[in-house]
Amino acid sequence: MNKKMFVVFFLVLSLFLFESTPQVGRNEVNTSIHNTTTKITYFNATRAFNLIKAQVEFGPRIPGSNAIENVRNLVVNTLSSSESWMIEFQNFSKLWVGNLNISLVNIICTPVSINLSQPYFLLLAHYDSRIIADMDPDPVLATQPVLGANDGASGVAVGLELGIVLREYHNISNFRIVLFDAEDQGGTGWDWIIGSSYFVSSGKLNLTDVSFAILFDMVGGKNAQFKREGHSYQHSKSLVNEIWDTAEHLGYNEYFIKEDLGKITDDHLPFIDEGVIAVDIIDDFRSNYKAWHTSSDTLDQISINTLEATGRTVETVLLNFESSNTPEITFTTSNSTTSINLIFVIIPLFLLTFIRFRRIK
């Protein structure tokens, strides 16, 4: 083997060793969703704001409280007036501090005209608020419950308003809204994401029928910065890109920022763990949303402009999805087994070739 042949071999070897091989999940299709045609959108940010206001007026929505029960009634009253919805409560319970057995409820809202023979998508949010404001700089306030205007109420409001708009204005019904109890109580004697973890593990839905899921968490704060959450970007990159590209096209790129947020434990994670395409739209609470888990997470933190940017961006994405026969939306994992097998095959070949080259040089 001459030197030129050796160099060529080495380059080919490098490509095999360093190129990551994506494994496409069960929802693979082949063409981009993205459509630069501007869609007519009807998301009403004022209605969403009023839904946030109604939740906050109940007080802190701690699991097992009267206030969180009032939110469930609010959901029923908001959707059932048109008789276009089926609303189901998934009841379960969990022991909390002091061996208190707390009744928990996930809420599943489904258009009555859903076609269950076809895939459908999910709109997700949590509707509890945190029992302690442990990030508050005031040590007295840090022991008090959080009102959760943004962290809790905003996701519920955006999910409900989007559902109403899709059903009543666009005649889209192949989706469900799922609102989770007990997401935000980690470090208080419970783990995080209890409601969504239970929902997924219970087998309540056949997840092979779910085309994708979008989670709304802290989506109404002033000057929000929605960066690309790490789990979402790793496993659902095509949908992340679609959402952020659409926001840029609509002029909302000051909210949807093409920077990495890092990996967040949130209600999308149990779905991703089961191979479902899922994206978390969440404000950067580490460096931007300073009211996170404090007594300041109140109604005056909410911005109509942010609600509009979130709602109309996702509404446009969903309209593009519905109008596309073969949208590109994939679940991606690292194909580590294939990479390891290649290494075991190629490294010995490389060593043999190198030894032979040294002998004849």
The three-class DSSP label of residue 4 is helix
Give the per-residue pLDDT at 118. 94
Q: Output the pLDDT for position 105.
A: 98
d(CA 347, CA 353): 10
Can you give the pLDDT at residue 34?
52
Q: Looking at the structure, do residues 11 and 72 belong to the same domain, yes or no?
A: no
Contacts 24+ apart (CB under 8 A), 316-319: 316/38, 316/39, 316/41, 316/246, 316/250, 317/33, 317/242, 317/243, 317/246, 318/121, 318/162, 318/166, 318/172, 318/175, 319/39, 319/41, 319/170
- Domain match, 173 and 256 both: yes
Kindly give the confidence (pLDDT) of every residue in the chain, 361 residues in length, as a single tens digit, with 9 standing for 90 and above.
454 444 434 444 443 333 333 333 334 333 345 555 678 999 999 999 999 999 999 999 999 999 999 999 999 999 987 789 999 999 999 999 889 999 999 999 999 999 999 999 999 999 999 999 999 999 999 999 999 999 999 999 999 999 999 999 999 999 999 999 999 999 999 999 999 999 999 999 999 999 999 999 999 999 999 999 999 999 999 999 999 999 999 999 999 999 999 999 999 999 999 999 999 999 999 999 999 999 999 999 999 999 999 999 999 999 999 887 545 677 887 543 333 343 343 444 444 444 444 444 4
CATH number, domain of 124, equals: 3.40.630.10
211 and 341 both lie in a single domain: no
Whether residue 240 sits in one domain with residue 204:
yes
Same domain? For 347 and 247 the reply is no
- Quick check: 102 and 61 in contact, CB under 8 A? no
Same domain, 163 and 109: yes
Residue with tokens 């083997």: 1
The predicted pLDDT at position 334 comes to 52
- Together in a domain, 79 and 156: yes
**Do residues 255 and 207 share a domain?**
yes
How many structural domains does the chain have? 2
Are residues 141 and 176 part of one domain?
yes
For 221-246, letters b (16+ CB in 10 Å) and e give bbebbbbbbebbbebbbbbbbbbbbb
Domain containing 350 equals 3-20+336-360
In a shared domain, residues 330 and 340:
no
Q: What is the pLDDT of residue 45?
A: 98
Q: Given this model, what pLDDT does residue 264 score?
A: 98
Same domain, 239 and 348: no
Same domain, 213 and 350: no
Whole-number pLDDT of residue 258: 98
